[in-house]
Structure 1
Amino acid sequence: MIVSESYQGNSLMGSICSCKRDHYADENITRRGFSTRYFKLGSSKWLESSLFLPGPFCQLQRRSCPSLMELCIRKICEDIDKYRSFSILPRDISQLIFNHLVDSCSLSDNCIEAFRDCALHDMCMGECTRVNDKWLDVISSQGSSLLSAYISSTEVTDFGLSLLRNCSNLQALGLDCCDKISAHGIKHITGLTNLESLTIRSCKCIMDSDLKPFAGLVNLKELQISCNDITNVGVSYLRDLDKLVVLNLEGSDVTASCLDYLTALTSLKSLNLNRCHLTDDGCEKFSALSNLKELNLGFNNITDTCLGHLKGLTKLEGLYLDSCRISNDGLAHLAGLSNLKALELSDTEVGSNGILQFSGLTKLEDLNLSFTSVTDSGLTKLSGLTSLRSLNLDTRQITDSGLAILTTGLTGLTHLDLFGAQITDSGTKYLTYFRSLQSLDLCGGRLTDAGVKNIKDLSSLMLLNLSQNLKLTDTALEFLSGLTSLVSLNVSNSRITNEGLQHLKPLKNLRSLYLEFCGVTACEIKKLQATALPNLARYRPNQ
């Protein structure tokens, strides 16, 4: 078998030791909708923004020069059109080549065939939307070696899905937004009895009756199946999946009555009922789910009354109530939830007085108060929450004074969202207290280059969003040129020009760059990518 049109042998890779799959387990990256328990080597999707990051960021490796392995993988991917097959390479080397192509958005119809019969463990296609039945044929050729596969928004049909029957050891499968797959195609999944994780979100074809065969997937631990046509009847078919730990029914047409079937799932620890049709009626049934550690009730018509039925869920570590009718009084029911680490109260009726109820939540690490009526003065009540690492204050009432208050007791923050807050150049001097910041959003429109100067020493920053600040110029990029840990930078809607791009050359870790509605052209960004930023995978403008 010929690996390359120019090489008859394997001289390039022959001297490289085969690496163990488990060696890369600590490099897991959280993918949208997937648990890192199952997807260890696929593409990274976390760089787009912090929206897909409910947990801590993956830490990039920092070293002065790439390893021999990395250099070889990069070179192969640059010359990918020269190679016909990687099947004679050690599996883990082929896997790394595949991952690099996905990460760099370079996987295409021309090169996918080279991975036929490579016995890969993971084929997670990331953002690639070109996947069709031909690609599924290559995926299925991995046979019993394949452990996980993720495809989204693709051209895959029922026939393509039927090819996966050859992958008998498949443990994790993702099929989000695959509108050409019908109920007939879904039936092929039911033969994959080793599945532990299954994601079928936003697929228009799924109805209640299609869930009935899922009862045979007795090894399922994670099921995400958010489809509008799923009702309580469909949920009833899941009641015997006693190994289920994670259940996501987001956007389904279910009510609190579905809890009658879920109480039998004693292993259930995470339940997502976001954007369903819940009201306070029937919410008393939540009290039976005593093992829950994570509960998402966002965008439902529930009130403080529902919170009263949650106070017995003492194992809860994450509670998400985005856009619910929750007030300051309702937060009193959270007093006994001492294990809470994440609390989402965005766009609720909570105000400064409600923060008083947080005093007993000493383990709280992630708090979202965006679009609430919390003011600067209310932030003084957060000072005792020294475990806080992520704080979202995207609200117009927060000003420089509020940022000053946060410097008392909360300097350990790693993620701070002040997107719409009224922070001025004067207020940015308080940012220097937050030396551990990895993510910062500051988009209120009041910053000039002078304010950016106070950000230049936040050396841990990985994601920085300064969009909507119309007065920023190329000088701002000059100040940011020392932030070499940056992975994502957004300075859209500013006065940045092509000439200013030269200041970004030191940012070798940059993967995402957004300069929309600036004086910057895609052509100049491509030049920067080719000459100085080889890791840049996503940028705008892109044409």
Structure 2
Amino acid sequence: MSFAWQDVLLGEYPGVNDGWIDVISSQRSSLLSVDLSGSTVTDKGLRLLKDSSNLQSLTLDYCDQFSEHGLKYVSGLLNLTFLSIRKSSTVTPDGMRAFSSLVNLEKLDLERCSEIHGGFVHLKGLKKLESLNIACCKCIMDSDMQAISGLQKLTTLNAEGCKITSACLESIAALAALESLNLNRCCLSDDEFENISSLKTLKRLSLAFNRITDACLVHLKGLVNLEYLNLDSCKIGDEGLANLIGLTLLRSLVLSDTEVGSSGLRHISGLHKLEDLNLSFTSVNDASLKRLSGLTNLKSLNLDARQITDVGLANLTSKLFLVYIHCLSGLIKLDLFGARISDAGTVFLKSFKNLQFLEICGGGLTDGGVKHIKEMTSLTQLNLSQNCNLTDKTLELLSGMTALRSLNVSNSRITNEGLRYLKPLKNLRTLSLESCKVTAAEIKKLQSSDLPNLISFRPE
């Protein structure tokens, strides 16, 4: 009895070479999907695939044994809709000539390909292309963007880490169907940003780690369909946030490591659909947190900043702000990593009934504060590292939190003696007790006898 294979997924499987391709290619027209990531396939192997005329998906990530000449055999796979060749120095501008015949291609992934500058001219005819990933291709320049400006069905462009400047924004603006645009870590300034305002269909925009200021945000006013905006580490301040007032569909806003301070929060207080707000390493203070009372859909809040203290938590849960209690009822993730939270502040955490993820690593907790945390039985991930005064008593207090899957109490006074309190945590998958008086041997004993799901632990 013979079997017809449709999908052959061998990504990262050891030892895959041209000999394997000889067997795979025998399926000919029945083959629909092939993943050879990490294999040693050569030009010979690619030639063996040329008769797989119905192939729709081909993945060659991390393959570096074929050459630009081998890619010519891909050019005959006219039914391909998905092609991925990540992190390959063998894809050259001349080799990309093979892509020009793939007129049915919808998704092309060339992430971390280091030699593709100048080859985009061969993508001009791919009129069905919807997604292009060229992240971390440091060879990419403004002229490459100009070459693809006619791809009118392109909805997703990831150019993170490319050496493109604001001069290419006019070319990007010609991609009228764009819904997702990632320009993180490029060389952008405020120049030419008025072109972005024409991309009315944008839902996701990432501009992190660029030299843009409040002047850039003026041109985002009209992007009323935005649901995700990332401004991490940009020179954005309080007044610039006034330009976001009309972006009422925003669900995620990243303002980490910006110059945003307390007065800026008034401009985002009306973004009622926000689910994820990142204010880490900003100048937002305790008092300003009251301004977030209208964010009734908030699920994730990052307040990793040293100026946030117990007072800030009190403001989030005070009976004087009943609206905000409702606001936080859906909070699932709270990051207070570097905030200065003490035992007194942990009493306010009990208001977050649905919290699953909590980080408090500012060094101010003792076992007394953990008494309040233990009541948060919905927690699945808990990080209390860097609180050097925690002892074995902390593990005893946490022993009833059976939903925990990840626990980090590194840099504390916990010892091997305290490990016995972890026995009831049958769902625990990761455990970190680095820089404690705990040995890997004792953790392994606990793993084998009582924690069958523990797959990662430190020290190891």
**What is the TM-score normalised by the length of structure 2?**
0.81
Could you say if the C-alpha distance between residues 457 and 114 of structure 1 is closer, same or farther in structure 2, counting changes exceeding 3 Å? farther
Q: Hey, what does 1:17 align to over in structure 2? A: none
Q: Hey, what does 2:371 align to over in structure 1? A: 453
3-state DSSP of counterpart to 2:163 = coil
The one-character-per-residue Cα deviations of 1:277-306 (angstroms, maximum 9, x if unpaired) are 211111111111111111111111111111
Write the letter of the residue equivalent to 2:162. S
Q: Kindly state the Cα deviation for residue 268 of structure 1 after the two structures are TM-superposed.
A: 0.5
| Cα distance in 2 between the residues matched to 1:170 and 1:457 | 54
Q: Hey, what does 1:308 align to over in structure 2? A: 218
Given that 1:462 and 1:488 are in contact with CA atoms closer than 8 Å, whether structure 2 keeps it comes out as yes
Write the letter of the residue equivalent to 2:250. L
Write the letter of the residue equivalent to 2:40. D
- Structure 1 residue corresponding to 2:132, chosen from 223, 226, 232: 223
Write the letter of the residue equivalent to 1:213. H
Q: Hey, what does 1:360 align to over in structure 2? A: 270
- Structure 1 residue corresponding to 2:148, chosen from 228, 238, 243: 238
Could you say if the C-alpha distance between residues 174 and 541 of structure 1 is closer, same or farther in structure 2, counting changes exceeding 3 Å? farther
3-state DSSP of counterpart to 2:253 = strand
Q: Kindly state the Cα deviation for residue 276 of structure 1 after the two structures are TM-superposed.
A: 1.3
| Cα distance in 2 between the residues matched to 1:163 and 1:532 | 56
Could you say if the C-alpha distance between residues 110 and 462 of structure 1 is closer, same or farther in structure 2, counting changes exceeding 3 Å? farther
3-state DSSP of counterpart to 1:284 = helix
Q: Hey, what does 2:362 align to over in structure 1? A: 444
Pair 1:158-2:66 in alignment: yes
Could you say if the C-alpha distance between residues 271 and 111 of structure 1 is closer, same or farther in structure 2, counting changes exceeding 3 Å? closer
Given that 2:406 and 2:430 are in contact with CA atoms closer than 8 Å, whether structure 1 keeps it comes out as yes
3-state DSSP of counterpart to 1:432 = helix
Given that 1:484 and 1:506 are in contact with CA atoms closer than 8 Å, whether structure 2 keeps it comes out as yes
Pair 1:276-2:186 in alignment: yes
- Structure 1 residue corresponding to 2:248, chosen from 318, 338, 357: 338
Structure 1, unmatched stretches of 5+, are 2-86, 126-130
| Cα distance in 2 between the residues matched to 1:123 and 1:509 | 33
Q: Hey, what does 1:133 align to over in structure 2? A: 40
Pair 1:258-2:168 in alignment: yes
- Structure 2 residue corresponding to 1:421, chosen from 320, 339, 345: 339
3-state DSSP of counterpart to 1:354 = helix
Which one has the largest radius of gyration?
A: 2
Write the letter of the residue equivalent to 1:132. S
The one-character-per-residue Cα deviations of 1:165-204 (angstroms, maximum 9, x if unpaired) are 4987654455544456655666666665554333333333
Could you say if the C-alpha distance between residues 525 and 300 of structure 1 is closer, same or farther in structure 2, counting changes exceeding 3 Å? same
Given that 1:157 and 1:181 are in contact with CA atoms closer than 8 Å, whether structure 2 keeps it comes out as no
Given that 2:340 and 2:364 are in contact with CA atoms closer than 8 Å, whether structure 1 keeps it comes out as yes
Given that 2:99 and 2:122 are in contact with CA atoms closer than 8 Å, whether structure 1 keeps it comes out as no
Q: Hey, what does 1:320 align to over in structure 2? A: 230
Given that 1:244 and 1:267 are in contact with CA atoms closer than 8 Å, whether structure 2 keeps it comes out as yes
Q: Hey, what does 1:58 align to over in structure 2? A: none
Pair 1:376-2:294 in alignment: no
| Cα distance in 1 between the residues matched to 2:110 and 2:78 | 19
Pair 1:210-2:125 in alignment: no
Write the letter of the residue equivalent to 1:272. N
Q: Hey, what does 1:109 align to over in structure 2? A: 14
Given that 2:332 and 2:357 are in contact with CA atoms closer than 8 Å, whether structure 1 keeps it comes out as yes
The one-character-per-residue Cα deviations of 1:355-378 (angstroms, maximum 9, x if unpaired) are 111232121211111111111001
| Cα distance in 2 between the residues matched to 1:111 and 1:463 | 38
3-state DSSP of counterpart to 1:513 = strand
| Cα distance in 1 between the residues matched to 2:453 and 2:77 | 33
Could you say if the C-alpha distance between residues 427 and 268 of structure 1 is closer, same or farther in structure 2, counting changes exceeding 3 Å? same
Q: Hey, what does 2:109 align to over in structure 1? A: 199
Pair 1:289-2:196 in alignment: no
Q: Hey, what does 2:316 align to over in structure 1? A: 406
Write the letter of the residue equivalent to 2:39. N
Q: Hey, what does 1:387 align to over in structure 2? A: 297
Could you say if the C-alpha distance between residues 417 and 170 of structure 1 is closer, same or farther in structure 2, counting changes exceeding 3 Å? farther
| Cα distance in 2 between the residues matched to 1:444 and 1:400 | 12
| Cα distance in 1 between the residues matched to 2:280 and 2:88 | 33
Higher mean C-alpha displacement, 435-444 vs 483-492: 483-492
Given that 1:133 and 1:159 are in contact with CA atoms closer than 8 Å, whether structure 2 keeps it comes out as no
| Cα distance in 2 between the residues matched to 1:180 and 1:471 | 54
The one-character-per-residue Cα deviations of 1:129-186 (angstroms, maximum 9, x if unpaired) are xx33169979x98x657747484xx464335985994987654455544456655666
Given that 2:41 and 2:66 are in contact with CA atoms closer than 8 Å, whether structure 1 keeps it comes out as no
Write the letter of the residue equivalent to 1:261. S
3-state DSSP of counterpart to 1:453 = helix
| Cα distance in 2 between the residues matched to 1:537 and 1:135 | 37
| Cα distance in 2 between the residues matched to 1:211 and 1:134 | 25
Could you say if the C-alpha distance between residues 302 and 503 of structure 1 is closer, same or farther in structure 2, counting changes exceeding 3 Å? same
Q: Kindly state the Cα deviation for residue 437 of structure 1 after the two structures are TM-superposed.
A: 1.2
Given that 1:248 and 1:273 are in contact with CA atoms closer than 8 Å, whether structure 2 keeps it comes out as yes
| Cα distance in 1 between the residues matched to 2:254 and 2:423 | 38
Could you say if the C-alpha distance between residues 453 and 311 of structure 1 is closer, same or farther in structure 2, counting changes exceeding 3 Å? same
Write the letter of the residue equivalent to 2:254. E
| Cα distance in 1 between the residues matched to 2:447 and 2:15 | 23
3-state DSSP of counterpart to 2:119 = helix
Higher mean C-alpha displacement, 491-500 vs 397-406: 491-500
3-state DSSP of counterpart to 1:333 = helix
Q: Kindly state the Cα deviation for residue 351 of structure 1 after the two structures are TM-superposed.
A: 0.8
Q: Hey, what does 1:490 align to over in structure 2? A: 408
Given that 1:157 and 1:185 are in contact with CA atoms closer than 8 Å, whether structure 2 keeps it comes out as no
Could you say if the C-alpha distance between residues 477 and 278 of structure 1 is closer, same or farther in structure 2, counting changes exceeding 3 Å? same
Identity %: 49
